[in-house]
Structure 1
Amino acid sequence: MERFSLDAAHLLAGGMVLVSFMMLYQNRILGLLNVFAAHAVVLALSVAWQAYVQSAPHLFVTAAIALILKAIIIPVALHHMVLRLGVHRDIETVGGIGPTMLMGIGLVALSMVVMLPAAAEADPIAREDLALALSVILLGLLMMVTRQNAISQIVGFMSLENGLVLAATGARGMPLVVEISVAFSVLVAFIVIGVFLFRIRERFDTIDTQALDDFREGRE
């Protein structure tokens, strides 16, 4: 039974890494939002499994927050925002999809090399999950760096935060009040970002960050 618990935990955490690569591969905004919803679903399943394995009922609340907020509310709101902004098109990447995927593979390898020796004395579940969580965090950061569309950068930020939640639950979790406050902060940040996106769209008729940089350079 213990071996099954380990394998299931690692399978779910590894599933998050796989879905992170799927997000890196996406070149359509609506497709990216659908994959992010799947990312949040896998996170909710992983946290729920950790709640069962650790006998930590408060983690079920964390799983419910991830499922309701990140897998349903935020993707639906972003879908609505994309349709209103009229930007459901290809996502421009820095350097192309192929090199981005290769960099992602390198970051996962780096995570394993760094984290597994550092967490050698940790619980068996926590050790591999921390390495996989670091992979998710770095892949989210990579998405933020290589995407030129503001919405895809928001998705990268939220997938990075999913990796932080995975790391926290794998390492015996944070107090429930902290998890709820983090979820509330993400929701507030999402609302503020949405307001700024609409304002940017009204002012510049685009949310492509490269176009905004070109405009700034032209002003200078």
Structure 2
Amino acid sequence: MEGLAFDIAHLLAGGLVLVSFMMLYQDRLYALLNLFALHAVVLALSVAWQAHVQGAPHLYITAAIALVFKAIVIPVALHRIVQRLGIHREIETVIGVGPTMLAGMGLVALAISVMLQATPEADPLAREDLAFALAVILLGLLTMVTRRNAVGQVVGFMSLENGLILAAAGAKGMPLVVEISVAFSVLIAFIVIGIFLFRIRERFDTVDIQALDRHRGERR
């Protein structure tokens, strides 16, 4: 049974890394938002499984928060924001898909190498889940820096936060108060980001970061 629990935990954590790569590869805005919803679903399943393996019922609340807010509420709201902004096109990237994917593979290898060497005495399941979580965080950062579209950067930021949740769950969970405060912080940040995107669109008629650079220093 322990071996099966170990394998399922690895399958779910590895699935989160795989979806992160799919998000990194994707250049269609609606598809990217759908992949983020899938990312959150896999995160919720992974956290729920950690709750079962660790015997930590409070982690089920974390999984439910991730499923409701990050897999349903936020993606639906982002879809509506994109429709309101009229953004129906491909997401431009700073570098090509090939170099981006190679950089992503390098970051995953770095994350696994660093985490396994830094935690030799830790529980094997927690140690390897932390390695996967660090890989998700680094891939989220890479998604942010390689997207020129502000919406794509928002998705990269939220996928990075998914990695932090996976790390907290893998490290034997975190206090329930912290989980709830993190969930509300993400929700508030999402509301602020939505308002920010509308203001950018209203002011510059675009959310393309490269186009916004041309307006730097412009006065009203």
TM-score bracket, normalised by the shorter chain, equals over 0.9
Is 1:111 the counterpart of 2:114? The answer is no
Name 1:128's counterpart in structure 2.
128
Counterpart-to-counterpart distance in 2, 1:100 and 1:117: 26
Identity %: 76
Query: Which residue identity lines up with residue 151 of structure 2 in the other structure?
Result: I
Q: How many residues align?
A: 219
Q: Which amino acid aligns with 1:180?
A: I
Measure the CA separation in 2 of the matches of 1:44 and 1:5: 16
User: Which residue pairs with 2:150 in the alignment?
Assistant: 150
Q: CA deviation at 1:88?
A: 2.1
Give the letter for the 1:168 counterpart.
Answer: A
Q: Per-residue deviation at 1:118? A: 0.9
Q: CA RMSD in A?
A: 0.9
Q: Which residue in the other structure is 2:85 paired with? A: 85
* Partner SS state of residue 215, structure 2: helix
- In the aligned structure 1, how far is the partner of 2:191 from the partner of 2:217? 29
TM-aligned CA deviation for residue 217 of structure 1: 5.8
Unaligned runs of 5+ in 1: none
Mapped partners of 1:66, 1:175: distance in 2? 16
**d(CA) in 2 for partners of 1:135, 1:169:** 15
CA-CA distance at 1:96 after TM superposition? 1.4
Other-structure match for 1:47: 47
**In structure 2, what is the Cα distance between the partners aligned to 1:32 and 1:88?**
12
Alignment partner, residue 73 of structure 1 = 73
In 1: Cα distance, 2:217 partner to 2:19 partner? 36
User: How far is 1:205 from its partner?
Assistant: 0.2
Relative to the length of structure 2, the TM-score reads 0.98
Query: CA–CA distance in 1 between the matches of 2:65 and 2:175?
Result: 14
How far off is 1:218 after superposition?
A: 6.5
In structure 2, distance between residues paired with 1:132 and 1:121: 17
Aligned position for 1:161: 161
Letter in 1 for 2:83: L
Letter in 2 for 1:186: V
What secondary structure, in the 3-state scheme, does the structure 2 residue paired with 1:216 have?
coil
Give me the TM-score of the superposition, normalised by structure 1: 0.98
State the Cα distance separating 1:117 from its structure 2 match.
Answer: 1.2
Cα-to-partner distance string for 1:88-114 (whole Å, 9 max, x where unaligned): 210000111111111000000000110
* Cα displacement string for residues 34-72 of structure 1 (whole angstroms, at most 9, x for unaligned residues): 000000000000000000000000000000000000000
**2: CA distance between counterparts of 1:197 and 1:187?**
15
What is the correspondence of 1:1-220 to structure 2 with a 5 Å cutoff?
A: 1-216=1-216
More moved, 45-54 vs 87-96:
87-96
